[in-house]
Structure 1
Amino acid sequence: MSGFLTRSRDLRPPREATLPRDQQQWNWQQAGRPAALYSARPDGTVQCHLSPRNCVIRPGAVGFCRVRANRGGELVTLNYGKSVAMTEETIETEAVYHYAPGARILSMGNIGCMMNCDYCHNWQTSQARYVEDRSVHHYTPEQVVESAVERGIQVISWTYNDPVVWHEFVLDTARLARRHGLVNLFKSAFYISLEGAKELCEVIDIFSISLKSMDPTFYKRVTKGQLQPVLDATAYVFDRGKHVEVSSLLVTDANDREEDAYRLSRWVLDRLGPDVPVHFVRFHPDYKYTQVERTPVDRLERARAIALAEGVRYCYLGNVYDHAATNSYCPRCGSLAVERYGLVASPVGLTADARCRTCDEALPFRLLARPDNAALAVVDVDDRDRPVVDHEWRGDVKAVHVEVTSAASATYEVVVRVLGGASDGREIKRVPVLPGAQYRFIACKSASDDRGVRVQLAPDVHANLYEVYDRAHFPTNTILEIEHSSDAVPEAAIRLQGGSRA
């Protein structure tokens, strides 16, 4: 792939803290680039038109998101190319079940957000006041696309905090990705203007929309946003033929009533249609909302039953294991179409043209041809010469990010195997690590009796592990930096609240 820049990784330590953490002026905030979708005003202020918030920003100030600023009467974006570590995951991570089941994706997460949900699972990076330099990596569009292509990854996912406020970088990178035959996925709460949604439609193939609630008061009070613009933007991209799936995080004692499930299901049916997949997703306590437990599974099951009774044909439960409601079934004959366990999926009952193998019913799935093998020259290593890191699952925490850093002069593969159970030692995946590079990927529980994973490294390749509490969670603290206080509330949220450790 000619024309790509040499990759770089910003691994600088954070600046010495002399102010409270939420008042720091970190290095990542200093440089800005021209932003789109704004108007300049005679008094020197600018009005941002990216989100329905339409922030009016004074010279030298920032908008609600804290990553769009007024510099000399012009709007600039402070987070162009600034990201959490790119991470290889599977498409199911994004609550996308009907597009390329089981496909590997390259997840890209930005800094900042146009909302401030009380229960945010990624508040350490979505709320810019908490973002430290050590969490920020710097990428060019070319580096992102090159990383996907050289590894045979077909889908780039714009995800984690919320990609709306990453608008300029998403557009530039997604355009380049399309020129190289890649698919773009936008995982978002979609609090965006129709003008912004229109620009995204030019480059985005899949929209996974996180619909927080059907209650406008809930939106205003809990998310600091508005409901109607989210519905309008979702309908807009659906009407333009984009693949859309809708998910709702059922927050314990907040939006997990039967009425909530009924209203969401009715809107999907009335405005989008019965074949649009709906996902009811289990919540873990985080950020400012830690006084409750994880969502009881029976509440998710009841929400799903309501959706199916109303006429939704495909309704799933997220962040649950060992549950049949993660699978896809043919609505005509009931046969298993896609089998899932955690984040592992296999289209066992689908033909190559997305028909049911049992009754030949055409099903609303989009399948991708398998990519050619990535053209990376990998040096073989005998398993006996591989350093080993074992990680055991802990309660409801059944996934881990493995971040590998290479000081080697050759490309090696990191091998991940099942730890424990009937499949003990079975190989799960092989991940190439280029010389001098850093790369992050997810490993998760893949069978009911798995105890954990064994990560087999290579000479001069080192690893940090980060517990992933749920599929939308991007962890910023390694397992060595935290105390295992709870499998429901991450350590950082406990520290934020000033709570005690069990």
Structure 2
Amino acid sequence: MKWKEEGYPARLEERLPDDVVRCHLSPRNCKIRPGQHGFCMVRANRDGRLVSLNYGRSVHATEETIETEAVFHYEPGARILSMGNIGCMLNCDYCHNWKTSQARYVADKDVFYYTPEQVVDIARRHQIDVISWTYNDPVVWHEFVVETAKLAQEAGIVNLYKSAFFISPEAIEELIPVIDIFSISIKSIDPKYYRKITKGWLEPVLDGTEQVYRAGKHVEVSTLMVTDLSDNEKTAADVASFVLDRLGPEVPTHYVRFHPDYKMTDTIRTPIDRLEAARQVGLDMGLRHVYLGNVYDTESVNTRCYSCGQLQVTRYGLNARILGVTMAGLCTQCGADANIKRIPKGVRRPAVVQDLPADVKFDTATFDWYGDVRALHVQVRNDSAQEQQVYYRRNLSDTRSSEWSVLDLQPNESYRFIAAKSEAEEAGVAVAVPPNCTSSLHQVFDRAHFPTTEADSGSLNADVTPLPLFVPQR
């Protein structure tokens, strides 16, 4: 694997006799002999020094919305630049990023290379105010995250950290100065579940979540409700108890719908009624903001004022509209704290036009939503030596379409963004590229994930499991 050839000096190294090193990034504290790797497979011992093998190695940088990260209370609807790496400190049986989280399955063709400066430049040029460290898990990308997040912070960009948070207290202390939002996936409150399903252990996750909350950071908590395993009221109550006892009732809590994937495909998606019951448990116990994730067509994704009941934010899928929250984060009706943080610039959108330029011959691709495939990653590339503009819009019905959004591409720039269904009657999306530009559409199942499948490849089952399927190595 060529992406593993170069090592970058790693933080949190302890040097031991005989050129052995210990890595203090995660609670595993891996003891690594020369030439060997840690559990994550992307931190290694090279000549007696700890190195990172994934510094700047990434899946394609992708523009998405903040809702993809189970973050509902920080500038709803904000555009984010999602950055995901290679490797993970866990190995969850249902991982939907397994082809990148488990380094042995990574293909060189799927790896992109970025410098910290390039990441910040992409966000600035496309007027994106949040960089999200996400997908498989940013913990094992520690050096690149810390260094890039600091540059982003200096440029006035918000940093979001979406993680299962199996991480050491020392590493958390290095994150706190540069990360603004922590979206933490707590898989369960059952220690046996953690050991068996994630190959990690629970208490460091809970301790780390409390550590960032006590540091004054914006924290949201999510739990994947796995069908017939954790999609029950006891799981909901245990998670709610943790949030109430060790964090606070204002912390947004998300109960997330599961889809079969990786090693756990012999099952079905989480029944919606079980998710609704879980949400009610959290509300009854005193949580102020409880949501469902990976669901459509339900009131349970909207935000209402916990004090007066005013509708503050409406959501459909991965799209949000702010209706009743001031820039100071207060309810517009009663003035209560909505526990929503705002970005001073608000949500910045691309320019739009009514019609495509008449003097350019465009190649147009379309995709219609079906089953539970209600989002796409759209990848476009400018293969010319001049700046180009590509366009995309929503087909709202057979006779109605939105305006065309305009995307500026530098020479030889490849750009990827999400297009997610925004209303019940929306039919699909269209993308128009000029000569010397190309596009490809990649199906996304639920929240954004990697790997993705090109649209013309289809999905194994539009309501259950996306492609590609995991095939165990013998």
Does the CA-based 8 Å contact 1:415-1:427 persist in structure 2?
Answer: no
Matching residue within 411, 422, 426 for 1:450: 426
Which residue, 381, 392, 395 being the options, matches 2:371? 395
Q: Give how far 1:485 is off.
A: 2.1
Is it true that 1:211 corresponds to 2:186 in the alignment?
yes
Match of 1:364 among 327, 332, 339: 339
In structure 1, what is the equivalent of residue 232 of structure 2?
A: 257
Please tell me whether the aligned partners of residues 62 and 418 of structure 2 are also in contact (alpha carbons under 8 angstroms). yes
Q: How does 1:252-331 map to 2 (within 5 A)?
A: 252-331=227-306
User: What is the DSSP-based 3-state SS (H/G/I as helix, E as strand, rest coil) of the residue aligned with 1:229?
Assistant: helix
Match of 2:390 in 1: 414
Q: CA deviation at 1:422?
A: 7.1
2:136 counterpart (148, 161, 165): 161
Q: Tell me, yes or no, if the aligned pair for 1:83 and 1:136 is still in contact at 8 Å.
A: yes
Q: Is the 8 A contact 1:154 1:371 kept in 2?
A: no
Partner of 1:496, secondary structure, is coil
Please tell me the root mean square deviation across aligned C-alpha atoms, in Å: 1.9
Check conservation: 2:459, 2:465, Cα contact below 8 A: no
Is 1:30 aligned to 2:2, yes or no? no
Identify the residue that residue 105 of structure 2 maps to in structure 1.
130
Amino acid at match of 1:470: D
Post-superposition offset of 1:410: 2.8
1:338 aligns with 2:296: no
- Helix, strand or coil at the partner of 1:43: helix
Could you tell me how far 1:497 is from its partner in structure 2? 6.1
For residues 468-483 of structure 1, the aligned pairs below 5 Å read 468-480=444-456, 482-483=457-458
What pairs up with 1:53-202 in 2 under 5 angstroms?
Answer: 53-202=28-177
CA contact (8 A) 2:443 2:452 kept: no
Partner amino acid for 2:358? Answer: D
Structural mapping, 1:231-242, within 5 Å: 231-242=206-217
Report deviation, 1:423.
7.4
Cα distance in 1, alignment partners of residues 175 and 431 from structure 2: 38
Shift of 1:384: 6.6
Query: Using the alignment, how far apart are the partners of 1:244 and 1:177 within structure 2?
Result: 20
Return closer, same or farther for 1:68/1:272 CA change in 2, 3 Å cut-off.
same
Counterpart AA for 2:17 = P
Q: Bigger shift: 74-83 or 433-442?
A: 433-442
User: Structure 1 residues 429, 227: CA separation in 2 closer, same or farther (over 3 Å shift)?
Assistant: farther
Q: 1:407 Cα deviation (Å)?
A: 1.1
Contact 2:390 2:434 in 1 (8 A): yes
- Please identify, of 360-369 and 177-186, the stretch whose mean Cα deviation from structure 2 is larger: 360-369
- 1: CA distance, partners of 2:182 / 2:237: 22
1:329–1:338 CA contact under 8 A, matched in 2: yes
Superposition deviation, residue 209 in structure 1: 0.2
Which stretch of the first structure deviates more once superposed, 84-93 or 423-432? 423-432
How much does 1:303 deviate? Answer: 0.6
Give structure 2 stretches of 5+ with no counterpart.
none
Distance 1:69 1:408 in 2: 40
- For the pair 1:386 / 2:357, whether they are aligned, the reply is no
- Measured after TM superposition, the shift of residue 496 of structure 1 is 1.7
| Structure-2 change in CA distance of 1:182 and 1:212 (3 Å) | same
Q: Specify the alignment match of 2:468 in structure 1.
A: 492
Distance 1:334 1:387 in 2: 48
C-alpha offsets along residues 177-211 of structure 1, whole Å, 9 cap, x if unaligned?
11111110000000000000010001100000000
Q: Which amino acid aligns with 1:359?
A: C
Quote how far apart the aligned CAs of 1:461 are.
Answer: 1.3
Give the conservation status (yes or no) of the 8 Å contact 1:282–1:300. yes
| Per-residue CA distance 1:418-442 (angstroms, 9 max, x = gap) | 2242773113743222211101000
Question: Residue 207 of structure 1 contacts residue 242 of structure 1 at CA under 8 Å; is this kept in 2?
Answer: yes
**Percent identical residues:** 53
CA contact (8 A) 1:416 1:455 kept: yes
Distance 1:211-1:372 versus aligned 2 partners, 3 A rule: closer
Kindly tell me the number of residue pairs found equivalent between the two proteins. Answer: 469
Q: Deviations over 1:24-58 (max 9, x none)?
A: xx100111111010211113221110000111111
SS at the partner of 1:134? helix
Distance 1:152 1:164 in 2: 26
Distance in 2, matches of 1:484 and 1:443, equals 17
CA distance in 1, matches of 2:433, 2:149: 32
Q: Given that residues 383 and 456 in structure 1 are in contact (C-alpha distance below 8 angstroms), is that contact kept between their aligned partners in structure 2?
A: no
The normalised TM-score by structure 1 is 0.90
Aligned to 1:436: 412
Could you say if the C-alpha distance between residues 362 and 383 of structure 1 is closer, same or farther in structure 2, counting changes exceeding 3 Å? farther
User: Could you tell me how far apart the structure 1 residues matched to 2:386 and 2:428 are?
Assistant: 29
CA distance in 2, matches of 1:450, 1:432: 25
CA contact (8 A) 2:64 2:79 kept: yes
Q: CA deviation at 1:255?
A: 1.3
Tell me what 1:3 maps to: none
Residue 21 of structure 2 corresponds to 46
Paired letter, 1:390: T
1:354/1:72 CA distance change after superposition, 3 Å: same
In structure 1, stretches of 5+ residues that fail to align are: 1-25
C-alpha displacement at 1:374, in angstroms? 9.7
